[in-house]
Structure 1
Amino acid sequence: MNAEPYLKFLVEEIHSVIFATIDTQGHPLTCAIDLMDHDAHGLYFLTATGKSFYHRLKRDGHIALSGMKGKDTLSCISISLQGQAREIGTARLPRLFALNPYMEKIYPTEASRRALTVFCIEQGSGEWFDLSKSPIKRASFAFGDIAPKTSGYFVSDTCTGCGRCLPLCPQQCVDVFNDKAVIEQAHCLHCGNCMQACPFDAVTFLK
Structure 2
Amino acid sequence: MKQRECKNEKVKMKKLRGGGMEDPLEFLRNIKSVAVATVDDGKPAVRMSDVMLVEHEKLYFLTARGKPYYRQLKKNPEIALVGMDKNYVMVRVRGRIEFVENIFLEKIFEINPVLDEIYPEDTKDILEVFCLSSGVGEMYDLSGIPPKRERFAFGGAKVAEPGYKITEKCTACGICKELCPSRAISKGEIYKIDGSICLECGRCAENCPYDAIEPPSGI
Residues 135-154 of structure 1 mapped to structure 2, 5 A cutoff: 135-154=146-165
Look up the match of 2:20: none
Which among 72, 89, 95 is matched to residue 107 of structure 2? 95
Q: CA RMSD in A?
A: 1.5
CA offsets, 1:105-135, max 9 Å, x none? 222x221211111101111111111111322
Deviation at 1:18, TM superposition (A): 0.9
Query: What secondary structure sits across from 2:196 in the alignment?
Result: helix
- Matches of 1:126 and 1:148, distance apart in 2: 8
- 2:37 corresponds, among 5, 16, 20, to 20
Of the candidates 29, 33, 43, which is equivalent to residue 11 of structure 1? 29
Length-normalised TM-score, structure 2: 0.85
Q: What's 2:187 paired with? A: 176
Instruction: Please report the TM-score for the alignment, with normalisation by the length of structure 1.
Output: 0.90
Contact kept? 1:19, 1:66, Cα under 8 Å: yes
Q: Following the alignment from structure 2 to structure 1, what is the Cα–Cα distance between the partners of residues 57 and 83?
A: 20
In the comparison of the two structures, how many residue pairs are matched?
Answer: 199
Tell me the alpha carbon deviations over residues 71-115 of structure 1, each in whole angstroms, 9 at most, x when there is no partner. xxxx411111111111113111121122222222222x2212111
Q: CA deviation at 1:176?
A: 0.4
Return the alpha-carbon distance in structure 2 between the equivalents of residues 162 and 39 of structure 1: 50
Provide structure 1 residue ranges, at least 5 long, that are not aligned to the other structure.
none
- Cα separation, 2, equivalents of 1:85 and 1:50: 18
- The 2-side partners of 1:28 and 1:198 are apart by 35
Residue 158 of structure 1 and its aligned partner are, at CA, apart by: 1.8
Alpha-carbon distance between aligned partners in 2 of 1:55 and 1:89, rounded to the nearest angstrom: 18
Which ranges of structure 2 fall in alignment gaps of 5 or more residues? 1-7, 13-22
Whichever residue aligns with residue 76 of structure 1, its letter is: Y
Shift of 1:150: 3.8
Shift of 1:151: 4.7
Is structure 2 residue 88 aligned with structure 1 residue 76?
yes
Q: Which runs of 4+ in 1 moved over 2 A?
A: 149-152
> Partners of 2:111 and 2:197 in 1: how far apart?
35
